[in-house]
Structure 1
Amino acid sequence: MVSARLVDCPDSPDVQQSKSIPQMMFAAGEEPVGVRVLTYQSSGAIERILDTLHEEEIDFIKAYAFGKIVEIAEKPVFSGRFARYLLSRQLKTKKKHEAWFRFAGHPVRFSLREFALVTGLPCGKFPKRSKQKLRKTIAEKPYWPSLFGKSDVVTVASVLKMLRRRTVTDKDIRIKFSCLAILESVLLPTSLKMKICREHAEAIKDIDEFFAYPWGRLAFYLLMCSIKERDEVALSQDNIAVKGFALALQLVLVEVVPALTEVVQETCSSSESDSEDDGLDPGGKFGKKTNT
């Protein structure tokens, strides 16, 4: 998917032999088992959004910042058991926006760099809003009514229904609806009933500025904060809910070890992700200790 190597970075513990590898959160063989990671991003969320669009509308999105997100729809869905496997094999690091995992005896880094490589999202610095631009923005007529009329609250589900039923026919509006749905339900999910954020709706008035905004950095920060706030006690709970685009963790590991693709597929239900199917066997391939 990407030509750049994800683990050969200057500050990798493998490269800097003089530095010892950080201690693991759980000793080898003592990791919590029988639990999984739940994510607010539903299985097949990207595909369901794309199914509501015309081919030319999908092609338009592919040509911009969300292009790689569209491609991710063809990859294995999120596996809660695999994510559980990774999180229980974290290394203790002090950096707020960086995590390391021990996989097959080797440390693998998950940082903004890796997130950007697997998602293709803009991850630059957040733009500074000048006072002049801020005053102009405040003075402008809100864009929300142009998209959703008098509705005060709009859910992602209702947006997809309008797209699917062709209630909205204007191509530009349909593309904006789909981008907002991707943003709320794929990149920045924080609840099961996702709603369109007014601030995001205002930002999409200028589609070029919208695509240029570092949504990747925002999504990464949300995910990383959700991961970092959990210590050993929290990671030992039966279920762990993670906000943000948790699938990125899986994408990074599969990119580093392509052979994992088939294994990850085996841990997922054929139609639902672990986050949606509580009937899946918690003692699966990534949740079972083996006696050696």
Structure 2
Amino acid sequence: MIPSRVGELPEDQDGGTIMSLPEMMFAEGEEPVGVRVLTYQSSRIINTILNALDEEEVQVIRQSSFGKLVEIADKPAFSGRFARFLLSRQLKVEKKHEAWFRFAGQPIRFSLREFAIVTGLPCGEFPKKQKVKKKKNINDKPYWPELFGSVEDMRVSTAIKMLRKKTVTDKDIRMKLACLAIVSSVLLSTNLKMKMLKEHAELLGDMEEFFAFPWGRLAFDMLMTSIKKKDEISLSQNSIALKGFALALQLVIVEAVPSLTEVVQESCSSSESDSDEDDVDGVGSKTKKKTLSPAHAREVDKKEEVCFPSILFNDILGIGKEYTSPRPSKTGRRVGACMG
């Protein structure tokens, strides 16, 4: 997949690039002032899952395709207020799987490529569905009962308690519970109850297959669909809800503008982070997370002195080609994005 540009980038005589960017959803200075973005993911859920595991089990996850999520657990938590600030600064982009945001005078793209870079998750094509066999193998049984017996519904919070209290001691089963909890509550969170899905559990029969599955593409599609559904009217509301791994959007912006993490603050309630289900059996509420400072983000945005690092422009994953992103100015559409 080759990174797509917003438009053609003809060079001028000075070696720069001039282009016409899409219109802003809201004119500069007229962006709606909302409160926050709500997500269904607890700001502490990754830490809570990892803390319920032994160090040896955490190392297994660290060495898998979910490995970068272990690193993400130590980064600033999702800031609903910062996300609200960002969403009101979107460009009008028709592509279904791409969004652009204006920050510090420059447009920043959020696509599957950037999502893959910051999450480290598999983002390839979905595997083709196997043709239904004429004669079903007598040994083909649902995998869900292997994990949960006759229990039909299993909440993530219950599974985490089982891990933390060592109700389940089998190493293989413990790892599968942890992975299913990550998928359900981190990557594909759609409601506060955070229930595990049987269709995801079926992949656990083969852990190699499970880790190779393009969870990143699935999570990105869910998040992007949620973002694209928000028009000017819905973006003018005080609170906006997003499904999926909304933290990935913040991670992309932070990779482009590292100075955002120079000032952080404690997240002491769901008013700053995300969902109201922030603790599991009272454990999560004891640990405060650091989150971005919306006030500092506004200051960085106003200065317009940001040089974006190369991670967002150089194709370190071999997905596409190197390119330079355009930067709009208040007086025209002259380009000059800095390369770190």
Give the TM-score category using the shorter length: 0.7 to 0.9
Tell which structure's C-alpha radius of gyration is larger: 2
Q: Give the C-alpha shift of residue 179 in structure 1.
A: 0.4
Task: State which drifts further: 214-223 or 29-38.
Answer: 29-38
- In structure 2, the partner of 1:98 is 98
The percent of aligned pairs where both chains have the same amino acid is: 62
Other-structure match for 1:275 = 274
Bigger Cα displacement from structure 2, 212-221 vs 124-133 = 124-133
Is the CA contact (8 Å cut-off) linking 2:187 and 2:219 kept in structure 1? yes
List runs of 5+ in structure 1 lacking aligned partners: 1-8, 278-282
Mapped to 1, the partners of 2:214 and 2:252 lie a distance apart of 19
Deviation readout 1:210-263 (Å, 9 max, x if unpaired) = 000000000000000000001000000111010000000110010011111134
Q: Which residue is equivalent to 1:6?
A: none
- Give the aligned partner of residue 183 of structure 2: 183
Query: How far apart are the structure 2 equivalents of 1:41 and 1:254?
Result: 19
- Matching of residue 11 in structure 1 with residue 5 in structure 2: yes
Q: Which moved more, 1:128-137 or 1:72-81?
A: 128-137
Q: Does 1:206 align with 2:200?
A: no
Whether the 8 Å CA contact 1:13–1:107 is kept in 2: the answer is: no
Stretches of structure 2 that go unaligned for 5 or more consecutive residues are 11-16, 277-292, 303-340
Task: Give, as a single letter, the amino acid of the residue that structure 2 aligns with 1:275.
Answer: D
Matching residue of 1:122: 122
In the other structure, the counterpart of 2:57 is: 57
Letter of the 1:55 partner, please give it. E
Q: CA offsets, 1:43-63, max 9 Å, x none?
A: 111000000000010000111
Q: Structure 1 residues 135 and 284 mapped into 2: Cα distance closer, same or farther (>3 Å)?
A: farther
| C-alpha deviation, 1:129, in angstroms | 1.8
TM-score (normalizing by structure 2): 0.76
Partners of 1:175 and 1:271 lie apart in 2 by 30
Q: What is the Cα deviation at residue 270 of structure 1?
A: 4.8
Q: Counterpart of 2:224 in structure 1: which amino acid?
A: M
SS at match of 2:267: coil
Give the direction of change, closer, same or farther, for the CA distance of 1:104–1:165 in structure 2 (3 Å limit): same
1:259 partner SS? helix
Aligned to 1:193: 193
Aligned-pair CA distance for 1:148:
0.3
In the alignment, does 2:247 pair up with 1:253? no
**Alpha-carbon contact 1:34-1:287 (below 8 Å) kept:** no
Q: Once superposed, what is the RMSD of the aligned Cα atoms?
A: 2.5
Q: How many residues align?
A: 276
Q: Which amino acid aligns with 1:170?
A: D
3-state SS, counterpart of residue 177 of structure 2: helix
Q: CA deviation at 1:72?
A: 0.3
Q: Where do 4+ consecutive residues of structure 1 move more than 3 Å?
A: 12-19, 132-139, 270-273, 286-290
* CA–CA distance in structure 1, aligned partners of residues 127 and 147 of structure 2: 25
Equivalent residue number for residue 3 of structure 1 = none
User: Residue 27 of structure 1: SS of its match in structure 2?
Assistant: coil
Letter in 1 for 2:128: K
C-alpha displacement at 1:35, in angstroms? 1.8
Aligned partner letter, 2:165: R
